[in-house]
């Protein structure tokens, strides 16, 4: 577990409230979300769902009136908020919850300053924003309560990708093979944590978007590598492309990404 101080900035105009619990659960893997700001015009009936989430999740509402019709004042206010936090030196990472690609320049600016940026948005989120983030997760994958999902008008999350689905994703296969190759020791084995770190340094990949809780779960499902569980079954090592007839070691307690 990491111990970063994370600032979560939410663009309430462009993302559903239904996944906020899942977003905070995901961020807990990286540290403490000590800043939780939700931006929007709180006089708007469209934010009614978000109003109900403010107190249960200890989120600070940031009021932004729409001074000019057709202009999104929330975007500007959120960018100013991010820059203020950047210079405050009170946070170690940023999380942006939005489906708006207009925040792509902000992500790039934060990355240039050495801050990881975790992105969360709906499947409609444009690819430039997705690719710019250190890691990006589609919020539909983080809504676990069926009633909450229905009330927000959201569809069910996509099912787990099958072995065939994973193999047909050439970009994913290339990423996994390259990560294993670049982190391999002299014997050709790669520690899963190092594989995960390489992937985080080179893409916005998250196993959650493929229906899997961890990178280790996805690696097993892909049937792409030889697997060796070491240190009492707590550390996963992978090696090269899987060969026919090689059986992976079954162990549900695997290292997480």
Domain spans in the chain, listed from the N-terminal domain onward: 4-151, 163-239
CB 7 within 8 A of CB 34: yes
Which residue(s) pair with 10 in the sheet?
38, 97
* Closest residue by Cα to residue 155 from 123, 131, 132: 123
Phi and psi torsions of 71, nearest 5°: -105, 140
Residues in the chain, pLDDT under 50: 68, 70-71, 147, 243-257
Tokens of 3: 């111990």
How many C-beta neighbours within 10 Å does residue 168 have? 11
Tell whether the torsion through CA atoms of 172, 178, 182 and 188 is positive or negative: positive
Residues 6+ apart with CB under 8 A from 170: none
pLDDT mean across residues, the chain = 85
Report the 10 Å Cβ neighbour count for 31.
16
What pLDDT, on the 0 to 100 scale, is given for residue 61?
94
CA distances from 161 to 169, 178, 220 (A): 10, 20, 12
Instruction: Tell the CATH topology of 4-151.
Output: Rossmann fold (3.40.50)
Architecture (CATH level 2) of domain 163-239: 2-Layer Sandwich (3.30)
Q: Enumerate helices (H) and strands (E) in the chain, giving the number of each.
A: 10, 9
């Amino acid at each position: 577990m990491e111990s970063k101080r994370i600032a979560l900035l939410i663009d309430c105009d462009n993302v559903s409230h239904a996944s906020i619990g899942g977003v905070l659960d995901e961020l807990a893997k990286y540290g403490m979300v000590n800043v939780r700001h939700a931006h929007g015009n709180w006089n708007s009936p469209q934010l009614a769902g978000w109003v109900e989430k403010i107190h249960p999740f200890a989120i600070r509402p940031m009021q932004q009136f729409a001074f000019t019709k057709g202009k999104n004042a929330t975007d500007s206010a959120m960018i100013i908020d991010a820059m203020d936090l950047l210079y405050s030196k009170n946070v170690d990472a940023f999380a942006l919850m939005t489906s708006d690609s207009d925040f792509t320049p902000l992500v790039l600016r934060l990355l240039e300053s050495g801050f990881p940026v975790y992105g969360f948005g709906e499947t409609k989120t444009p690819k430039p924003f997705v690719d710019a983030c250190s890691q990006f997760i589609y919020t539909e994958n983080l809504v676990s309560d069926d009633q909450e999902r229905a009330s927000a008008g959201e569809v069910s999350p996509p099912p787990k990708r099958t072995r065939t689905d994973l193999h047909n994703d050439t970009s994913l296969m290339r990423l996994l093979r390259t990560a294993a190759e670049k982190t391999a020791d002299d014997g050709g084995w790669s520690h899963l944590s190092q594989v995960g770190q390489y992937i985080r340094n080179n893409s916005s990949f998250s196993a959650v978007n493929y229906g899997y809780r961890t990178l280790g779960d996805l690696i097993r499902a892909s049937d792409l590598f030889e697997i060796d569980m070491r240190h009492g079954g707590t550390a996963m090592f992978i090696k090269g492309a899987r060969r026919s007839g090689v059986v992976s070691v079954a162990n549900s307690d695997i290292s997480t990404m």
